[in-house]
Amino acid sequence: MRGAGHRRTRPRTLILAVLAEADGHLTADAVRERAVATSGMDPSTVYRTLALFERLQIVHTLTIGKRVTYGLADHPHAHTVCDGCARVTALRDAELGDLRTLVRRDLAGFAATGIVIRGRCAACRPAPDD
Ligand SMILES: [Zn+2]
Ligand SMILES: [Zn+2]
């Protein structure tokens, strides 16, 4: 799909594909890098489209420290955040529905907008002997 027709890829479709492929969250800059590399689209289009997606609730944001990350909002999910490489991965599992129910039940009036599990991914964990 890297032939002459790639410029016809609609920016919205491409940005959705970038986020789907990430299987988690990306900063706007990371989305821009991937989208521009694939299609040569104008960087400002990437930021505009992400802002539009957020308004339409197609994506949701998760702020880690000062980094705003964007992820698909197509399915409820929790997030793991690596304190080493800052990668945000989406966890899509039916059991998360139970967690939301638990929060709703035990904290009346509390509407969970995100579940974040912090830690270190396998690549960032020190070797067992350290
Ligand atoms: Zn998310
Ligand atoms: Zn990591």
Neighbours of 126 (CB within 10 A): 8
Cα(55) to ligand 2 centroid in Å equals: 30
Domain presence at residue 42: yes
Mean pLDDT, rounded, for 112-127: 88
Over residues 25-49, mean pLDDT: 94
DSSP class of 7: G
d(C-alpha 49, C-alpha 67), whole Å? 18
In a domain, 98, yes or no: yes
Q: CATH number of the domain that 110 lies in? A: 1.10.10.10
| CA–CA dist 65, 85 (Å, integer) | 13
**From ligand 1's centre to the CA of 74, what distance in Å?**
9
Taking CA atoms, 7 is separated from 11, 16, 42, in Å, by: 9, 16, 11
Task: Look at residue 13 and tell me if it is in a domain.
Answer: yes
pLDDT in tens, 75-115: 888 899 999 999 999 988 767 777 878 888 888 878 777 78
For the chain, the domain total comes to 1
Q: Which residues make up the environment of ion ligand 1, defined by Cβ < 5 Å?
A: 71
Domain contains 127: no
Contacts of 14 (CB under 8 A, 6+ apart): 35, 38, 39, 41
Domain with 35 in it: 4-119
Q: How far apart are CA 31 and CA 25, in angstroms?
A: 9
